[in-house]
Every structure is written in structure tokens, then in C-alpha cells.
Amino acid sequence: MAVLITGGAGFIGSHTAIELINSGKEIIIVDNLCNSNINTIENIKKITNTNSIPFFEYDCCCKKNLTKIFEENEIESVIHFAGLKAVGESVEKPLKYYSNNLKSTLTLCEVMSKFNCNKLVFSSSATVYGSPKTVPIKENFPTSTTNPYGTTKLMIENILKDICLANPDFSVACLRYFNPIGAHRSGLIGEIPNGIPNNLMPYITQVAVGKLKILSVFGNDYPTHDGTGVRDYIHVVDLAKGHLNALKYIENHNGFETFNLGTGVGYSVLDIIKAFEQVNNIKIPYKIVQRRPGDIAECYADPTKSQKLLNWKATLSLEDMCHDSWNFAKLAFN
């Protein structure tokens, strides 16, 4: 019996694949490589010392191809990472996002139902909390979205909830990630965004490597300890491990459940710059500019529910995140 990982060649999926293999699970990866590279599969093999990993270069929107995977393999559960995730692009090309993210999930769920595969872990995002009135954020906080990407996540959450209501045998762990950064210790896998990065850590590493000149800090007049935006950064390996706990949870619990995957600690932009500089002994030139439209002051998780129900807790430090992000970037860009 295998765990099917959709989007398993991507940033979080590849790290999760490693954790699953290391825990003795059989895995199958499906990814259309629209935002990833086939080399990642080779690197997962290298890191885990595995001879072969079943990999299908298919689009999850294609029912025929997904059906073929389910026909030819015994799949006990699915972790569904496949999706487009660039917030800015989703505003410019909403149809692309609604089409890909919704169609792939609907197709996957239809095929799973056909083969009586009832266990799903879904990659959601803290973006579904919109602009929270208070922090830390609990799972029962109101949800809302500010861009098409976020709306696809919330729509999918609702679809999965309805599927669980209609089929009491179905179980879904919906994981709301906060801000994943870092990379595997080996430096072999990590995140390389297309074009100029939008997110903070990829921008910092590209400044560090000399590809970009200076980091723009978006606003220093927020009501936070130093005026810059505060987020819950989580090491991607901690996040990956959370998926193992979520799989264990859905083995024994039916129905739909949401979980925050964050550390519960918020760091500001200046905290991150300082930590990165200290850990890696590199200066990051930066300038303060206007706030980025749509940004919120503070966003961090209350991870109590995940600690209690999933028996999961993030353990890696901000120093680990800064070290591993740089370790990967310097190898990837040189």
C-alpha cells in the first residue's frame, strides 16, 4: 500500500517525500513539473538512498492518467500538494488558478472515490484567515480571502468538508501552513522561485548570492515590536514531518479537520535579516520602502490543536532556517 503524493517534486512535497521514505512508507509521486524539476526526484533518491521512486509526470486535472495510477497501484492515502501558489500571478490570471487548483482537486477526489481511497491530507494555507483581528490565530477563527489563490484554498476546504459530510468514511486533514522556509540539510533540495522572488527568504538568499542588489523592507510603521511585519516562519522539514502525523491521525479519525502548522512564534522582517546575517556571516543590504498592498502587520499560529491532536510540534530554530536556506541557495546558484 502506497501514499500518493501529488506535487511531490515541489518544495514542500519533496521534503515530505523524504520524511515518508525515511519512516518506511511506500510512496508514489505525481507532478506535471509546471513549477519543479525532474532533478528533484533524483535528489530525493540520493538523500534517502533509494534506488527507485515511482514517478508519473501527469497533470492531476487529467482523470484518465490519475485513474491509471490508481488502477496500477494500491493507494492507501493521498497527500495533495499539487497546485499553483503565486499570489500576485493569481490576481492577474485568476482563471488559471481556479482552473488548475480546483480541477486538479475535484478530479483527484472523483478518482479517489471510485477506488474507495478515503484518506486525504490537503495543503491549505494561513492565507484563509484573511486579516485576523487578533493573534495567535486559532483554527476556529473566521476565514476570508483577499486574492484568487487564497480563494481557491478556501473553496477546496469547503469542497472537502462537504465530501466528508456526504461520506462518513472519508477523512481529511486540512493543513494550514504558515510561512515555510529553509531547506533539506544536505543542500540538495529547497526552493528556487521563478523570476524575482515575492517571498522574504528567497529574496534574502538572492541578495546574499549577489543576484539581487538590495532587499526592500515593506514598511516599518506597523504596530509590531520594530515596525516591520511579523510572520510565523517554519522550517520546511518540520512542516514535512507534520504530514506524517496527519497521515497517522486520519488513519484513526474520519471527517474533516483543520490544523495550523506553524511554530507559534512570530519574527519581524528585521529579526529575519539580523538572524540571517549572524548565522551566515553575510551582510544583507536593505532599505525601508512603502508597505506592500494587502500585507498585514502580524500573522502567527496558535499550534496547540496540532500539538494535542497530531502530537506534532516544530523543533527547528530560526538559526536552522537561516542556515539551511543559505546552504541550499549557495549550492543552487553557484
Q: How many CA atoms lie within 13 A of 320 on its CB side?
A: 15
Asked if residue 13 binds ligand NAD (CB under 6 A), the reply is: yes
Nearer to ligand UD1, 62 or 288 (CB): 288
Asked if residue 306 binds ligand UD1 (CB under 6 A), the reply is: no
Q: Which residues of 252-268 are buried (b: 16+ CB within 10 A; e: fewer)?
A: eeeebbbbbbbbbbbbb
What does 284 interact with, of ligand UD1, ligand NAD, none (CB < 5 to 8 A by kind)? none
For ligand UD1, which residue of 43, 179, 260, 280 counts as binding (CB under 6 A)?
179
Nearer to ligand NAD, 186 or 254 (CB): 186
**Beta-ladder partners of 286:** 215
Report the amino acid identity of residue 206.
Answer: Q
Q: How many CA atoms lie within 13 A of 87 on its CB side?
A: 16
How would you list the strands of the sheet with 230-231, edge to edge? 267-268, 230-231, 298-299
For ligand UD1, which residue of 218, 254, 305, 332 counts as binding (CB under 6 A)?
218
Contact string (CB under 6 A) for ligand UD1, positions 240-279, x = contact? -----------------------------x----------
Handedness of CA 50, 51, 54, 55 (dihedral sign): positive
Asked if residue 23 binds ligand UD1 (CB under 6 A), the reply is: no
126: which DSSP letter?
G
Asked if residue 216 binds ligand UD1 (CB under 6 A), the reply is: yes
For ligand UD1, which residue of 200, 236, 310, 321 counts as binding (CB under 6 A)?
200
Instruction: Judge contact between 175 and 236, C-beta under 8 A.
Output: no
Catalytic residue flag (residue 149): yes
Asked if residue 302 binds ligand NAD (CB under 6 A), the reply is: no
Instruction: Judge contact between 96 and 259, C-beta under 8 A.
Output: no
* Binding footprint of ligand NAD on the chain (CB under 6 A): 6-7, 9-13, 31-36, 59-61, 81-85, 100, 104, 123, 125, 177, 180
Annotated catalytic residues are 149
